Amino acid sequence: MTDMRKNGIREAANYAPLSGWAKLPEGVALGYTHGLAEDAAGRIYVFNMSRHAIAIFEPNGEYVGSWGEEYAAGAHGLCLDREADGAEYLYVTDISRQRVAKHALDGREMLVLDVPPLPETYETPDKYRPTDVGVAPNGDIYVTDGYGEYQIHRYDKDGRWLQSWGGRGDAEDGKLCEPHGLWVEGSESGETTVYVADRRHRRFVQYAADGELLRAFGGDYMLPCDLVGAGDYYCIPDLNSRVVVADREFNVFAQLGEAGSLWQDARWPAIPPAEWPERGFVSPHAVHVDGDGAIYVVEWVPEGRITKWVPHA
């Protein structure tokens, strides 16, 4: 995964939301907003459950257009990968159609990953519900089956299945419970590390490229959906109404905006927009950090919600 952040996250206490950043034209409505990505031109891609499933915005929030109507019912995980020749592609997961696909930025489908060939695990295709996807520097593709059988799957750059690990069970046994999101990063030495947000176990799990379990990190998390590496930090959307910043040991040291408790409301996540906190969150699902250190957050709410938070000196 190409790291396009120059500055990383800055002191979280100095962040403030930009009111009305995402400018949707009349007649364009989004659904549950689940995924975020940014291309080399600074355009922001928002994956959401609507006929405008891949909604595209300029850096200033102006709406560019959309594609991906076929993902309206199952839009979930999204990542962008820049290949060695500079070409950029979006990888998406569809929890309704049990598929993972690679697209050009204009929507052309380039590759589809088959359901993992594990008949003992996936007796029928509907048991596979992939929630997130990430790409390693060598092109290997990692997928979390966060709503299905709780496994992590690895494919090569051409979509050939290589291996799987994880599965349902107790954390103490190295098993997972709703591995919802993941972050794949490469080191200067050429090693690839995969971090998985093991949501219902309220922790993050670190794996080597081949699935060897290296470490598990618990701590101050409720329902961690995903993670994004940015400089010396991780930015983490916690579905229970907050976004936090953690160090490389996953120690939480800052929170974006104000603490929220809307996740305790019986209507959650369907909180009316009029009650959304201006400096807080309802149900953060994914985040992205751009090259200037701004943080984008999308939320699991029926109307979709996109906010941009910018650092102040």
pLDDT tens for 216-234 read 999 889 999 999 998 889 9
Mean pLDDT of the chain: 93
Confidence of residue 313 (pLDDT cuts 50, 70, 90): low
> pLDDT by residue (tens digit) across 50-66?
999 999 999 999 999 99
21: number of Cβ within 10 Å:
19
Tally of domains in the chain: 1
pLDDT tens-digit map of 244-264: 999 999 999 888 888 788 999
CA distance linking residue 312 with residue 285, whole number of Å: 24
Kindly indicate the confidence band of residue 9, based on its pLDDT and cuts at 50, 70 and 90.
Answer: low
Mean pLDDT of 188-196: 91
How much is the pLDDT for 232?
Answer: 86
Confidence label for 188 from pLDDT (cuts 50, 70 and 90):
confident
Q: What's the per-residue H, E or C state across the chain?
A: CCCCCCCCCCCHHHEEECCCCCECCCCCCCCCEEEEEECCCCCEEEEECCCCCEEEECCCCEEEEEECHHHCCCEEEEEEEECCCCCEEEEEEECCCCEEEEEECCCCEEEEECCCCCCCCCCCHHHCCCCEEEECCCCCEEEECCCCCCEEEEECCCCCEEEEEECECCHHHCCECCEEEEEEEECCCCCEEEEEEEHHHCEEEEEECCCCEEEEECCCCCCECCCEEECCEEEEEECCCEEEEECCCCCEEEEECCCCCHHHCCCCCCCCHHHCCCCCCCCEEEEEECCCCCEEEEECCCCCEEEEEEECC
Does residue 5 lie within any of the structural domains? no
| Residues facing residue 21 across a β-bridge | none
The pLDDT, as a whole number, for residue 11 is 53
Residue that wins the pLDDT comparison between 297 and 218: 297
Residue 3 belongs to some domain of the structure: no
For residue 6, tell me if it sits in a domain.
Answer: no
| Res. 5: pLDDT tops 50 | no
Q: Decide if 278 is inside a domain.
A: yes
Indicate whether 7 belongs to any domain.
Answer: no
- 137 phi, psi to nearest 5 deg: -55, -30
* Residues forming a β-bridge with 229: 234
pLDDT band at 10 (very low <50, low <70, confident <90, very high): low
* 2, 242, 275, 279, 308 from 272: Cα distances, Å: 37, 18, 6, 16, 20
pLDDT > 50? residue 297: yes
Residue 82 located in a structural domain: yes
Condensed to tens digits (0 to 9), the pLDDT of residues 103-139 reads: 999 999 999 999 999 999 999 999 999 999 999 999 9
- Give mean pLDDT, residues 12-37: 91
User: Quick one: pLDDT at residue 94?
Assistant: 99
What's the pLDDT score for residue 145?
99
In this prediction, residue 6 carries a pLDDT of 42
Is residue 292 predicted with pLDDT exceeding 90? no
CATH code, domain carrying 101: 2.120.10.30
Structural domain including 45 reads 12-311
2: in domain? no
Q: Is position 245 within any domain? A: yes
Chain centroid to Cα 222, Å, comes to 17
pLDDT recorded at residue 1: 28
Per-residue pLDDT of 266-281, as tens digits, reads: 999 999 999 999 999 9
